[in-house]
Amino acid sequence: MPGSTNLRECKVLERMVKMHAEKGELYGAICAAPAVTLAHWGMLKGLKATCYPSFMEKFTAEVIPVNSRVVVDRNVVTSQGPGTAIEFALALVEQLYDKEKMEEVAGPLYVRPQHGAEYTIEELNSVEWKCSGTPQVLVPVANGSEEIEALNLIDVLRRAGANVTVASVEDTLQIVTRRHKFNLIADMMLDEAAKMEFDLIVMPGGLSGAQKFASTNKLVDLLKKQAGSGKPYGAICASPAHVLEPHGLLREEGDGISTHGAPAYRPEPM
């Protein structure tokens, strides 16, 4: 909400978007911004639009509100909020390019084929994880970590109320992500985080990031300590194969632990 209000009050941005719209170009907004910003500027008149559910009543009378995750009407794309951000971005890709390009970007590993389809989550060798108080979570990051995996882990866990510590395994707090070279600033260095206790340690993927994790002895020691204490740890994409498996963290008393990672990185069965 504060961000949408600040956007609304920016006169330079308002002029830019209106000039853009007058040329028939594509524009859009998500969460509170369709109602708080675009509708306030008079840029949704006579159009169907959606926004974050609790802001629907803030649409002006000229807007046709639609309770949908993403709405495309003429050259305007609107969406409901954080949980629909990927669908919103893919809708923009489809409008800018075509459906084929959208499906290429989405891919089988990026989003479920359909919203509402069941998650393919399988729990094996079930154990009860207990956490007293606010969960303390460590998310290590490295140059080459996959940005969407790191940011989603951090964002969702913090929204759930967990105290998430983002720790750099590099020589600086700033790391450069894998695909789009985003600059991500960690909360602290791993050396500092290693002095703390965590209820969960979870690693994003990205091949070069995973390889850095695997060669960082202090992180491997933390993971082994976590496993030895019976506390949960996890990884996604390349990290199960490149970090957990080589360091024996997918084995228990000689038996293999079932795991799932990006297909290209799945290790051979032990």
Give 258's pLDDT tier (boundaries 50, 70, 90). Answer: very low
Q: Average pLDDT for residues 248-257, to the nearest whole number?
A: 66
From-to residues of CATH 3.40.50.880 in the chain:
2-108, 136-261
Query: Looking at the predicted structure, is the pLDDT value of residue 255 above 60?
Result: no
pLDDT score recorded for residue 106? 86
CATH 3.40.50.880 assigned to 2-108: yes
* Number of continuous H segments (helices) and E segments (strands) in the chain: 10, 14
Q: State the CATH architecture for 136-261.
A: 3-Layer(aba) Sandwich (3.40)
pLDDT score recorded for residue 270? 35
pLDDT score recorded for residue 112? 61
Q: Average pLDDT for residues 156-168, to the nearest whole number?
A: 96
pLDDT tens, position by position, 16-57: 999 999 999 999 999 999 999 999 999 999 999 999 999 999
With residue 156 as reference, give the H or E element that holds it.
Answer: helix 147-159
pLDDT tens, position by position, 116-147: 666 667 777 777 777 788 999 999 999 999 99
Q: Average pLDDT for residues 1-28, to the nearest whole number?
A: 96
CB neighbour burial string for 86-112, b if at least 16 within 10 angstroms, e if fewer: bbbbbbbbbeeeeeeebeeebeeeeee
Query: Looking at the predicted structure, is the pLDDT value of residue 259 above 60?
Result: no
C-alpha distances in Å from residue 270, one per residue of 176, 243, 245? 34, 15, 10
The tokens describing 11, both together, are 């006169």
pLDDT tens, position by position, 105-121: 888 556 565 656 666 67
Q: Average pLDDT for residues 201-223, to the nearest whole number?
A: 97
Residue 83: what residue type? Answer: G
Number of residues in the chain: 270
Q: How many CB atoms lie within 10 A of CB 263?
A: 8
pLDDT score recorded for residue 252? 64
pLDDT score recorded for residue 118? 64
Do 238 and 262 meet the contact criterion of CB atoms below 8 Å apart? yes
Q: Cite the active site residues.
A: 237
Q: Average pLDDT for residues 172-190, to the nearest whole number?
A: 92
pLDDT score recorded for residue 201? 98
